[in-house]
Chains A and B, each alone.
Chain A
């Protein structure tokens, strides 16, 4: 009796095992890693990133996932600490076994994690960082595990210089940049951009991030008889600049880098932000009539609870697009790191706002050059396509 029971049990178990092996694979989550500043002063960038990736993942999973498997995002916070970014990457790549890694929006954190992903041969997706160093535009200069979606700082600078000279007819351009690495990099790029157009800067003014009164700098800019100001700094500082200009009654066109597409700039500067031109990675979503863009904006606003005027998904659009691009690669190549890289090394994808990203083994920047930079303008607190 006892013996027969054991036989039965053994038979039953082996049947179960056989069924497990032969039957359809059990649905398994495909893991995507994301590192970014989720707390601290730069948190808004990281939160935008995670919101965008999650939005795409929810949609992809709702539509059936990757051949029945669901995508799952594991997000880690590295704040502004590169050591933390490195540790996060190690954990995501080795412990969690993610199929691809979204790097932090911050340059140094991004670079810190790049060593880890390269060694482990994991896709290193850059959807936030715009600084040239993380993946230079020249073919072959960029790490082969990197796929970058945003526009580069040097492209923004070239476009802003061109816009100021050609569209606004500026002949004496003043630069205002902060004393951080970001500002100095911008100055270098802007000077190069202007030099290409045969122009020199009329005057260059720098300032510290803690400055609140920009009167001395603006006065020197007025004395230099500048007819346009290109800024290269963050939203709070440009808000101070345009507010000071208003107080001084200094009426010059102001242009700025993509960093000031963030809502905080317009919220702080209020009226004074009106008319400011900004380099952006996408055309104005606010005045777009494209139903796809409108639908995306609506979903984005529901997710972030932002009012329509302020909600600008510039940062998030590249994260959203990159997630869809990744999903397409996964559908083709399956959840295998090497096969996935091979499939995506030669890929092209058109995102929700109509931007096309193309990658080849040499070309790791999905976009192409300054011609891919859009100029938007602040009007009634929203970012619109300038009427010129």
Chain B
């Protein structure tokens, strides 16, 4: 039991990164970036190519990976938002979905259909035992990195001026614009932070899942579900949603086996949303009548 919960927290903290990634974009721009899972995948494949195949120093590999996803996100944001959101938010959703499919197929063409082993940059040694639970470097490293990143983003949003501007934009776009906040800059920033979180998630999850062109779909779906569960518009809610989702997965598969896992989890998911349509920690901002 304790092992399933520990591994649930480890995986869950990666879901949290992706969930927050979804949430940051949604909160500021009202767009669900369905290409996010594929951004994680691209980050992973670029890291694999630079660090493993080309044997670049890890630092350089991380830098190139970050640059790639930042560029990719900027590109997405420019088209999805500047051009299309003015037309219709749903069109923008569709565009992110299409971008995801294109990225997925491009990756298949570039890297082929086989999964690749991805090195654990955090080490794999077992550190100590708590009862039957073997606590290993990778697990602790994943949790720590995720916590640090999540804390940083949270701090940035609450304590810095730009961060506050971001929160203000997510609360009321028109009002924020009226007080002189450059909304387009905030959008770009949201996509950039989201991309960095996605890249971090890629580095953390790939040693578990291996790197493959199809890895993005699963992590994207779970991160999105976690964000909805917590709250799509509240960063902290999304974070808790991620951890909860991971732990629930481990817990349910331990008790009922992994074939029962998805039906049970998604059933619970629906029940939660029936009771709290904006997620466990959501505020019902969307029900307000103008």
Query: Are A217 and B253 closer than 8 Å at their CB atoms?
Result: yes
Q: Which residue of chain A lies nearest to B11 when distances are taken between CB atoms in the complex?
A: A213
Within 8 Å of chain A (Cβ to Cβ): is B78? no
Query: In terms of DSSP, what is the predominant structure of the interface of chain B?
Result: helix
Within 8 Å of chain A (Cβ to Cβ): is B185? no
Query: In terms of DSSP, what is the predominant structure of the interface of chain A?
Result: helix
Q: Which residue of chain A lies nearest to B137 when distances are taken between CB atoms in the complex?
A: A247
User: For residue A264, which residues in chain B have a CB less than 8 angstroms away from its CB?
Assistant: 114-115
Within 8 Å of chain B (Cβ to Cβ): is A189? no
Q: Which residue of chain B lies nearest to A42 when distances are taken between CB atoms in the complex?
A: B113
Q: Which residue of chain B lies nearest to A222 when distances are taken between CB atoms in the complex?
A: B132
Beyond known contacts A206-B258, A239-B210: 16 more, CB 8 A cutoff? A44-B114, A206-B259, A207-B258, A211-B258, A212-B218, A215-B4, A216-B257, A219-B1, A219-B4, A222-B132, A247-B126, A247-B134, A247-B136, A249-B136, A264-B114, A270-B117
Query: Are B210 and A268 closer than 8 Å at their CB atoms?
Result: yes
Query: Are B4 and A216 closer than 8 Å at their CB atoms?
Result: yes
Residues 132-152 of B, flagged 1 when their CB comes within 8 A of A and 0 if not, give 101010110000000000000
Beyond A236-B210, A247-B136, A248-B134, is A216–B113 a contact (Cβ under 8 Å)? Answer: no
Within 8 Å of chain B (Cβ to Cβ): is A246? yes
Residues 229-267 of A, flagged 1 when their CB comes within 8 A of B and 0 if not, give 000000010011001001111000000000000001001
Chain A min CB distance to B249 (Å): 8
Q: Which of B1, B210, B262 has the most CB atoms of chain A within a 10 A radius of its CB?
A: B210
Query: Are B124 and A247 closer than 8 Å at their CB atoms?
Result: yes
Q: Which residue of chain A lies nearest to B249 when distances are taken between CB atoms in the complex?
A: A213
In the assembly, what is the distance between CA of A311 and CA of B168, in Å? 60
CB-contacts of B128-174 with A (<8 A) = 129, 132, 134, 136, 138-139
Which of A207, A222, A243 is within 8 Å of B259, CB to CB?
A: A207
Query: Are B210 and A247 closer than 8 Å at their CB atoms?
Result: no
Which of B116, B126, B209 is within 8 Å of A249, CB to CB?
A: B126
User: For residue B129, which residues in chain A have a CB less than 8 angstroms away from its CB?
Assistant: 249
Beyond A215-B250, A219-B1, is A247–B139 a contact (Cβ under 8 Å)? Answer: yes
In the assembly, what is the distance between CA of A270 and CA of B4, in Å? 24
Query: Are A216 and B210 closer than 8 Å at their CB atoms?
Result: no
In the assembly, what is the distance between CA of A236 and CA of B210, in Å? 9
Within 8 Å of chain B (Cβ to Cβ): is A69? no
22 contacts between A and B (CB under 8 A): A40-B113, A43-B113, A206-B258, A207-B258, A215-B3, A215-B4, A215-B7, A215-B254, A216-B250, A216-B254, A217-B257, A219-B3, A219-B254, A222-B132, A243-B208, A247-B124, A247-B134, A247-B138, A247-B139, A249-B126, A267-B117, A270-B117
Q: Which residue of chain B lies nearest to A220 when distances are taken between CB atoms in the complex?
A: B254
Beyond A217-B253, A219-B3, is A249–B134 a contact (Cβ under 8 Å)? Answer: yes
The tally of residues in B whose CB lies under 8 Å from a CB in A reads 31
CB-contacts of B108-131 with A (<8 A) = 113-117, 124, 126, 129
In the assembly, what is the distance between CA of A248 and CA of B113, in Å? 29
User: For residue A247, which residues in chain B have a CB less than 8 angstroms away from its CB?
Assistant: 124, 126, 134, 136, 138-139
User: For residue A107, which residues in chain B have a CB less than 8 angstroms away from its CB?
Assistant: none
CB-contacts of B244-263 with A (<8 A) = 249-250, 253-254, 257-259, 262
Query: Are A179 and B259 closer than 8 Å at their CB atoms?
Result: yes
Within 8 Å of chain B (Cβ to Cβ): is A205? yes
User: For residue B11, which residues in chain A have a CB less than 8 angstroms away from its CB?
Assistant: 213
Q: Closest 3 A-B residue pairs measured CB to CB?
A: A249-B134, A216-B254, A215-B7
Q: Which of A220, A240, A269 has the most CB atoms of chain B within a 10 A radius of its CB?
A: A220
The tally of residues in A whose CB lies under 8 Å from a CB in B reads 32
User: For residue B1, which residues in chain A have a CB less than 8 angstroms away from its CB?
Assistant: 219
Q: Which residue of chain B lies nearest to A266 when distances are taken between CB atoms in the complex?
A: B117
Q: Which residue of chain A lies nearest to B255 when distances are taken between CB atoms in the complex?
A: A216
In the assembly, what is the distance between CA of A206 and CA of B258, in Å? 7
Chain A min CB distance to B262 (Å): 8
Chain B min CB distance to A202 (Å): 16
Query: Are B254 and A206 closer than 8 Å at their CB atoms?
Result: no
Q: Which residue of chain B lies nearest to A269 when distances are taken between CB atoms in the complex?
A: B117
Q: Which residue of chain B lies nearest to A236 when distances are taken between CB atoms in the complex?
A: B115
Chain A min CB distance to B21 (Å): 19
User: For residue B249, which residues in chain A have a CB less than 8 angstroms away from its CB?
Assistant: 213
Within 8 Å of chain B (Cβ to Cβ): is A210? yes
User: For residue A208, which residues in chain B have a CB less than 8 angstroms away from its CB?
Assistant: 258-259, 262
User: For residue B218, which residues in chain A have a CB less than 8 angstroms away from its CB?
Assistant: 210, 212
Chain B min CB distance to A63 (Å): 36
Q: Which residue of chain B lies nearest to A44 when distances are taken between CB atoms in the complex?
A: B114
In the assembly, what is the distance between CA of A247 and CA of B253, in Å? 18
Chain A min CB distance to B44 (Å): 13
User: For residue A64, which residues in chain B have a CB less than 8 angstroms away from its CB?
Assistant: none
User: For residue A205, which residues in chain B have a CB less than 8 angstroms away from its CB?
Assistant: 257
User: For residue A212, which residues in chain B have a CB less than 8 angstroms away from its CB?
Assistant: 208-210, 218
Query: Are B138 and A217 closer than 8 Å at their CB atoms?
Result: no
User: For residue B138, which residues in chain A have a CB less than 8 angstroms away from its CB?
Assistant: 247
CB-contacts of A183-215 with B (<8 A) = 205-208, 210-213, 215
